Structure 1
Amino acid sequence: MQQHSETNGEGVTLSPPDLRRVTPLFSRQELHKADRQSLLSQFLQQIIALHNAAGAIYFGKQDTGLFTETTLLSRQMQASGQGLTDILLSCAENAIAQEHAGTTSLNDDNSLFSLNCPLPLDGGCLCVLLVTSPEALSSFLVMLQLSAALLDQYLHQQTGSAQTTADETLSIQFLPTLNTIFSLPPGKERLLQLNQSLKTFAGADLCALARGTNKKNIRIAAISDIASQNRQTDQLRLLQKGIDECVLRGKPLGWPKSTDPAIQHSLIAEEICHGFGGAQILLLPLAAGSETPRAVLVLLWKKFTDRDHIHKALDGFAPVLAGFMPCLDGSAGQGLLNKKTQQADSHWSLQHKVTAFVGTVLVLALFLPVPYRISADAIVRPGFTRFIVSRYDGLLKESKVRPGDRVNKGAILARLDERQTEVELASLQAERDKAKKKLDQETARGNTAAAQVARLDMRKIDQQLTRLQEQRRHLIITSPVTGMVLTGDLQRAEGSPVNRGQTLFEVAPLARMEVEVAIPEKNISQVPDDALVTVRFEAYQETSWKKHFERIEPRARIKDNKNVFIGILEFDNPLGLLHPGMRGTAKIHAGTRLLGWILFRKPWHTLLGLFDTLL
């Protein structure tokens, strides 16, 4: 990391902060036995030496607020005058109000920072001036929090308000271990390493750490030798019950009963001990002073040991553990603040206003009238269809069209075999010639009766000839209209018999088409009889057709297993774009409705149906 030198203005390289350096700095006996003013003065000297800082100020607490109790500044910082002290006082007050450590940038180029760490037991705040880059603040702030936790303990002990028999050097002895912990990535790994270190220190067979933001949600976070836990097991449920009782009492719990009156006997602790196969157990709440515990340490031994001595050692160290446990989740305990983040609380009110405004707008939008459209399936049908049938029995000789072919009026569609008809015509013609000859003979003889019979035979034969000639004309099957052949693929049936009245072809004109719109039964009450409809077909996605309903059939049909009403639209089709069978989607314009009605109508109807079922 780079820190600017005050002598020549050039950057020099500093090694990363080493937490092992804290041990010799804070283990001097005179630091522990000095009076308050000497303690603060010596402590600020050690802090400045540890951080290579430009100065430090401790703001003490009094009835009217904070005051400058001890100051140790470099000459360059002293040149800033009272204005710098006032700024640091404001930073200290902000840190105490927010109840966590943070940083503040003091110049425009983000090279001078104030690290502010409140002391919850003493009520004051420690401010350290540091010339460094923003990226290097994380390690410095963590070290400052640890140092401030020690200072808070020393000052609190000097007041005489807290009597403790704890081993005062435990905090110092344990600090080198923190160097290993904070060298790991933030999160679970740090927590597991801390838990394992506490287990080793206490000589326990099992160690567990539980933590949370308040006493209602303190949950097991780490168990020694177990990377992940199943909270549903009976053992962990029992352990969680013991942790909850420890938090509720706010006192250490243990089993078997201890000679130390500070450790309260607990039946749940006994159950936990038996459940894990242990001989002794200690549940220690971790809190700073009289605050509500934010964490619980559980130690279990399978053999009897000097549990009371371990409790005394850990009891004094508990506030320090409680103080830096939030740092395990992030590289600055999530307490790094610059000028922008320090103003976050003031932005919350603006965010709340914006949220309220947006919520109000959304609620009012529900009462806006908007166009209501009903979606329905649509299919193209011809306006009318001509069915072409065979007028006589015969054999299919030739088929000239297939479905999909476009034909003009009078176009030949197929031919029937004419050979049988020609034979019959020839036979009748011969009979007629014979009857004519006989008529002439009898007339010449003057035989009127015979001539009359011959004349009647000729008329009968003429009628038969007329019928056969008509039949011969209809052996050629033509289209009665201009349009498209819809059915009649007879090319593979050539030579097969055709019966009288049999439908051979279906031809539909394309000049005018109908579109059938399948209106769902649940929406029929909202559709006017002459509603405007916009139709888009799958074949022409970019083109829409608009028309009012010509009629809506009064009787419902079953279509795709749904009850629907058919609405009819008629479209002129001069270009032949619409073909029978085309499918699309119709949007029926059903007037306007409230936006809220459109959005919540279906859920409301579903809820009503559910109520009807239940009631």
Structure 2
Amino acid sequence: MTEQPQPSSKSAASSAPKKDPLTLMNLINQELTLAEYCFHWLEIQCNSLTSVRSAVLLIRDEQKNSFKPIAKWPLSAEVMELSVVAYGVIDQGCGLLLTMDEQGQKYAAAYPVHVNNELRGIVALQLETQDVAQLQAAMSQLQWSVGWLELYFNRKRLTSSEHHRAQANQSMELLAKVHSQEDFLASAMAFVTELANRFECERVSIGFPNGHKIHVEALSHSAQFGKKMNLVRAISQAMEEALVAGQSLRYPGPNTELSAPDHHWLLEVSECASVMSLPIYVADKYICVVTFERTADENLQPRPFSDDELSYCQSISVLCAPALEDKRLNRRSLFRVAVDRSKQQLGRVIGVDYMGRKLALLALTAMIGFFSVATGEYRVAANVVLEGEVQRVVAAPYNGYIKDAFVKAGDVVESGQLLCQLDDRDLRLERENWLSQRSQYRHQYNQAFASHQRSEVNIAKAQMDQAMAQLSLADEKLARSQLVAPFDGVVISGDLSQRLGGFVDQGEVLFEVAPLDGYRIILLVDEKEIAEISAQQAGDLVLSAFPEYTFQFTVSRITPVTVAEEGGNFFRVEAQLVQSQDQQGAKELRPGMEGVGKIAVDERKLIWIWTRKLLVWVKLTLWEYLP
């Protein structure tokens, strides 16, 4: 049974009925606890009904979700039977009127107390009367009077809501002050000073973890506390004690006299009367510890911290602690940030959570271990151009005009096949001219020889020889007016079909012909990998035209000639194609085809093969920037 407040002699002696609303209003406006208000309310109801012999009021316990008596009238009454009747209201969900004896002289009236459609209490009265009117008046009185209990509960809820709203506003104001400071120490100083003023404390301090210790970062009303080493040490030990306990500690307080020696020592050092330490956790992570110290009152009596103050301090500290932690972490050096982040990641890997990271790290370790031991064939890749082993140029033998063109680039030709023909009309006229000149010089020669004119004979003979030479030259040009293929092959360049009748200069390249049975490979090797290449190394080639076929080749020569392409320098490396009778795709090869070739170097570790380019880049970068 809950301890009942003692009724005053004034209320007990009063014989006037106390159902006046003004009396109940004065009662609800007084600062009374729930038990005191319930007793006075029950006393008023019982005094207003002459047939009441005893009464009990049950209130639901929110934590245990059960009903327990909070007030009874009179104080010496036995209300066990009434309590049983009151529990019947829970099952029925409405008011009850039951007989308590066989003669019908004792009745029990019970009525529920609902607040916001929720059952909060039950009132039960024992009545001794046989008058039905009095029983009806009693039930009516209960139905009317429970409204004052509902009013009390609603006022308490409203007062509590306003109180929590005021605390929330104060907390947001304090959080704004913390955020308004740019420096961490200034924010921490503003935080503890505001708490000290708000809770009438002599001193409030805050400490953050520093290794295995707690370092006191700020004391209220003290910008510098270097001369208070004993006090700071005592505060730090009290914070560590609360952290080890894993809960808030109040001294003096419940169960702390024997279990908080560091808090007792802090009181001796600081000459305060009460102390409270709050470890602050956010998302199950310890952030800081806040310690409150309060002096005695005017009568030298301690002023311990109440449960409400404890709850409010915890809520406001949890609200501001993340902001202070962010400011504290932001002032760290880059080296310290790297160390802390490394410890954090290492803790996640070694800890019990983050299974995905553990599996990823295990897989990465296994992969690195495998590729550090496993070996593979190291091959240098390079772009490839296929060229004919021999390329014959068909050039214009003299200045002339194109008469006919019979082939163009890409056509396969046979040895002696006519490629094009130059216009020979001028040559034939020139030949006829020299024929007539020769006949004329021969006639002059015969006349001089017949007349025995030796000098004329010699002149005529020289002129005749000249004419014969010019005639031979004309015949040779006529023979060369038809350009033919020098061997079986393919025309790799030259298209005169659009130049018929056009003029060509002597020596101008008209066609290029390459054989179909002999090729050479030109590989463009990056200068970063040219040191790995040597003659007689074997390799494989895949052409863009025939990606399904692979051709073998052998490096024959490394030329000291570089070509600038695609933002890099490349060496020309010549190689010979290895052909066999059963090589698929060999007959479809044509000069000018391109692809990718890979030159086999030797066996090396896979990790080296895949990281070689990165290592080369790092070495060159370091060499460039290091002194």
Q: Which has more radius of gyration?
A: 2
**Structure with more contact order per residue of length (Cα contacts < 8 Å, sep ≥ 6):** 1
TM-score (norm 1): 0.48
TM-score (norm 2): 0.47
